[in-house]
Amino acid sequence: MKGFKELPSTSDYIKEHVNELDNFDSVYTDTQTKGRGRTGHTWESEPGKNAAFSILIKDKDIVAKYNLISIVTGIAVAAYLENVGIDNVQLKWPNDVLVNGKKICGILLEGSIPNYLIVGIGINVNQTKFEGFEATSLKNIIEIKLQPSLVAVDVCNLVLDYINQLGNDLGSFIDDYSNWDYLLNKEISFTYKGESLKGQASGINPDGSLRIKYNNEIINVTSDEVSLVRTIK
Ligand code: BTN
């Protein structure tokens, strides 16, 4: 893993150096000055406190399964958190990782299909206060200060391990997902083809798409097609 004291964004670094980097190379920093989140949002993180890293995937067979990569990455992060003794880990489709309903990790998938994919992962490690949205960190939960770069190395290895298994045993990943599925059977609101709709989340499909019960039918949506999946309280 290539490490930097500070970068605008680890995903941007990979994008700018994509021709010089190899399949599965990864880039780390604990201070991003222009961290990016999904749907054009910024990814805010206090300098030096959290883990930010990105992994480059150039293997064409894996790039083709990009809808599943975010699912599998989320499962790997969830497995890491459980390994360090954290309970109540959940995955909010397509790729937020929550603990006690609060976000601890965000995953951003970008790339140029079918050539490469960049998996960007931000994990809240030692930041304890979060403004504006419901978030938490490893420190808030296990009360131990971990070194963000070491968390990143462990998570990165697990993500690569899971991604490498993708070809072999897809079924078990999807089965595993239901154990962590935050949205499962919840009433949700979502935006689909420009319309705001309400339905019920009904699990995910083997290709990583979300099943939604809508007007007594099941629709299957990918993360490109649907946005703002929110639970209705
Ligand atoms: C989200 O939940 O909106 C996704 C957040 C992804 C943040 C990570 S941190 C490493 C990588 N570099 C970025 O600029 N963003 C991703």
Q: Is 38 in the pocket of ligand 1 (CB under 6 A)?
A: yes
State the pLDDT at residue 231. 79
Q: Residue 35: CB within 6 Å of ligand 1? A: yes
**CB-based contact 116:56 (threshold 8 Å):** yes
Q: Which of the two residues, 223 and 6, has the higher pLDDT score?
A: 6
122 lines ligand 1 (CB under 6 A): yes
Class of domain 183-231: mainly beta
Chain mean pLDDT for the chain: 92
DSSP states of 61-103 as a string?
HHHTTHHHHHHHHHHHHHHHHHHTT--SEEEETTTEEEETTEE
- Residue 37 binned pLDDT confidence (cut-offs 50, 70, 90): very high
**pTM for the whole structure:** 0.94
Is the pLDDT at 39 greater than 90? The verdict is no
CA distance 107 to 54: 9
For the chain, strand residue ranges (E) read 2-4, 26-29, 51-57, 89-92, 96-99, 102-112, 116-123, 187-192, 195-204, 210-214, 217-221, 226-231
CA 216 to ligand 1 center in whole angstroms: 36
State the Cα angle at 206 between 200 and 210, rounded to 5°.
25
CATH 3.30.930.10, the chain: domain bounds:
2-179
pLDDT per position as a tens digit, 169-219: 655 777 788 889 999 999 999 988 888 999 999 999 988 899 999 999 999
Looking at the chain, which residues constitute the CATH 2.30.30.100 domain(s)?
183-231
Using left for φ > 0, alpha for ψ between -120 and 50, and beta otherwise, residue 8 falls in: alpha
Q: What are the CA-CA distances from residue 164 to residues 27, 92, 170, 218 (Å)?
A: 19, 23, 11, 31
Whole-number pLDDT of residue 165 = 85
Q: Mention the CATH class of domain 2-179.
A: alpha beta
